[in-house]
């Protein structure tokens, strides 16, 4: 652990998984050639399809998923740690799917998986109503993962609006918080930068947030602006490209300890009660 180069891959994922695999592979290879040792892709790397019926026809059990196997082989070939922001898998004993991050070692093994806990059930004012819980089963556990680079706390997209998740991850050892996302254009313009910087400031952690960007085949439009913030809440890398992109950032985990030493809020909580008058 110490210093390393991280990359965010930004995509405009479409409907066909094989085409998306080819795009993601090209961008991951680009990041590796630029020197990245840790590379993260956005939520729904494998497919963006608002039609749940069509989407279910293209998913597999995790152990049989061809995209995951391809990404495991890619991580091995490139000798990088690879976070696939999320893929959709069949969920045990549920008609719904799992929206799952997959963290892959440079040897191709699965270090950890994380199922998105908070479902995007909202009306944001862009002409669409989102009911993610009708398609995806929410996860029930937070996940910390050890890598050669740092201890990661995993999350996905809408989780970003629930600060207690990130605080508990940091209090239990996370140095870097990952938040692969597919923020809508409306919510991204309003809240993306503020929320990511707030999570970094509150926890004294790096935040790595690869994002979907652009107009997708299924009609949705996502905000993009993949970015990396440091533990002080400063943006150290950001994509200003509308569509596909790769950004890189130098990470120094010593900064996490330094910032938490300056403002030790994680260890200074005081118990309190709420009095309603």
pLDDT higher than threshold 90 for residue 56: no
The pLDDT value given to residue 119? 93
Query: For residue 55, what pLDDT band results from cuts at 50, 70 and 90?
Result: confident
Residue 8 is a catalytic residue:
no
Asked if 78 contacts 212 with a C-beta cutoff of 8 angstroms, the reply is: no
**Poorest-pLDDT segment among 32-41, 70-79, 123-132:** 123-132
Catalytic residue among 8, 102, 157, 179: 157
Write down the catalytic residue from 43, 221, 238, 244. 43
268 part of the active site: no
Position 36 scores a pLDDT of 98
What's the pLDDT score for residue 50?
81
Three-state helix/strand/coil letters over 146-182 = ECCCCEEEECCHHHHHCHHHHHHHHHCCCCEEECCEC
At 190, is the pLDDT very low, low, confident or very high (cuts 50, 70, 90)?
very high
Of the residues 47, 102, 116, 238, only one is catalytic, namely 116
The per-residue pLDDT for 122 is: 85
Let me know if 29 is a catalytic residue: no
The yes-or-no verdict on residue 126 having pLDDT over 70 is: no
pLDDT at 52 over 90: no
Q: What's the confidence (pLDDT) of residue 147?
A: 98
Q: Could you report the per-residue pLDDT of 230-270, keeping only the tens digit for each? A: 999 999 999 999 999 999 999 999 999 999 999 999 999 99
Q: Is the pLDDT of residue 155 over 70?
A: yes
Domains of the chain as residue ranges with CATH:
3-267 (3.60.110.10)
Residue 57's pLDDT is 76
Interval 5-9 mean pLDDT: 98
């Amino acid at each position: 652990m110490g210093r390393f180069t991280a990359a965010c891959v930004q995509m405009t994922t479409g409907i066909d998984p094989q085409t998306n695999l080819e795009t993601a592979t090209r961008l991951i290879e680009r990041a590796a050639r630029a020197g990245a040792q840790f590379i993260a892709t956005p939520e729904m790397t494998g497919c963006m399809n608002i039609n749940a019926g069509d989407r279910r026809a293209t998913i597999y059990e995790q152990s049989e998923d061809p995209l995951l196997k391809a990404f495991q082989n890619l991580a091995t070939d490139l000798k990088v740690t690879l976070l696939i922001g999320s893929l959709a898998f069949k969920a045990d004993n549920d008609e719904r799917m799992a929206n799952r991050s997959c963290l892959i070692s440079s040897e191709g093994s699965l270090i950890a998986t994380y199922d998105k806990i908070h479902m995007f059930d909202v009306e944001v004012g862009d002409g669409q109503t989102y009911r993610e819980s009708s398609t995806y089963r929410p996860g029930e556990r937070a996940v910390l993962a050890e890598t050669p680079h740092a201890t990661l706390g995993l999350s996905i997209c809408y989780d970003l609006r629930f600060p207690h998740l990130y605080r508990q991850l940091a209090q239990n050892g996370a140095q870097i918080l990952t938040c692969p996302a597919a923020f809508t254009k409306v919510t991204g313009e309003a809240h993306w930068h503020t929320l990511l910087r707030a999570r970094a400031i509150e926890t004294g952690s790096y935040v790595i947030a690869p994002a979907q960007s652009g107009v997708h085949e299924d009609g949705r439009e996502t905000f993009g602006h993949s970015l990396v913030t440091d533990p002080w809440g400063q943006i150290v890398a950001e994509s200003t490209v509308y569509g596909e992109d790769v950004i890189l950032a130098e990470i120094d985990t010593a900064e996490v300890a330094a910032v938490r030493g300056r403002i030790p809020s994680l260890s200074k909580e005081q118990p309190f009660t709420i009095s309603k008058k």
